[in-house]
Amino acid sequence: MPHQSACSFCNLDTSTVLTANDHAIAIPDGFPISLGHTLIIPRRHIVSFFDATREEQAALLDLLAEVRERLLNPPRPPFAKGGSLPLPDGFNIGINDGAAAGQTVMHLHIHLISRYAGDMPDPRGGVRLIFPDKAAYWEK
């Protein structure tokens, strides 16, 4: 990966990579908010989704779909006995693009956040919950 010396995503421990393609990698989120929370990161050091080439955007979305599929259909080891991880009931997909949007690592990354029935009392509004007073649009 071409890298910026101070960028944590350009200096990853490659043992954390879950899957990859020519333009992107997927790693578990270092501070997950749910079981399966994964980051999809371009190999090239770019800050914004809008700085990515169409080819890079396609590669990012390909990995996003691949990771989702893996979370929904995890490999089962031979002779597995119970105790399997729950399968997600849904997903949030997010990109914090710019400091005003909450981006703290200035290297583009897409969050794939697994959601589970009952993980919060009322998940309606989804990503709108970043502005809680505007999330419940159906009540207005």
**DSSP character for 62?**
H
Q: Which residue in the list 23, 37, 107, 109 is annotated as catalytic?
A: 109
Query: Whole-angstrom Cα distance, residue 28 to residue 40?
Result: 9
- Does residue 109 have an active-site annotation? yes
Q: Please, where are the H alpha helices in 27-106? A: 54-72
> Known catalytic residues?
109
